[in-house]
Structure 1
Amino acid sequence: MDKTSLVLAVRQQGLCPLCKQALIAGAEYEPDSPREWINWFAASKKMLHKHHFTYGRDGGTDERTNLRLVHSECHRQHHAGDGKRTT
Structure 2
Amino acid sequence: MTLALPREVILTETESGVVLLNEKDGRFWRLNGSGATVLWLLLEGRTPREAAEELSAAGPQFLERATADVHGLVDALRSAGLLVAEAP
TM-score (norm 2): 0.31
Of structures 1 and 2, the one scoring higher in RCO (CA 8 A, sep 6+) is 2
Per residue, is there more helix in 1 or in 2? Answer: 2
Question: Which protein has the larger Cα radius of gyration, Structure 1 or Structure 2?
Answer: 1
TM-score (norm 1): 0.31
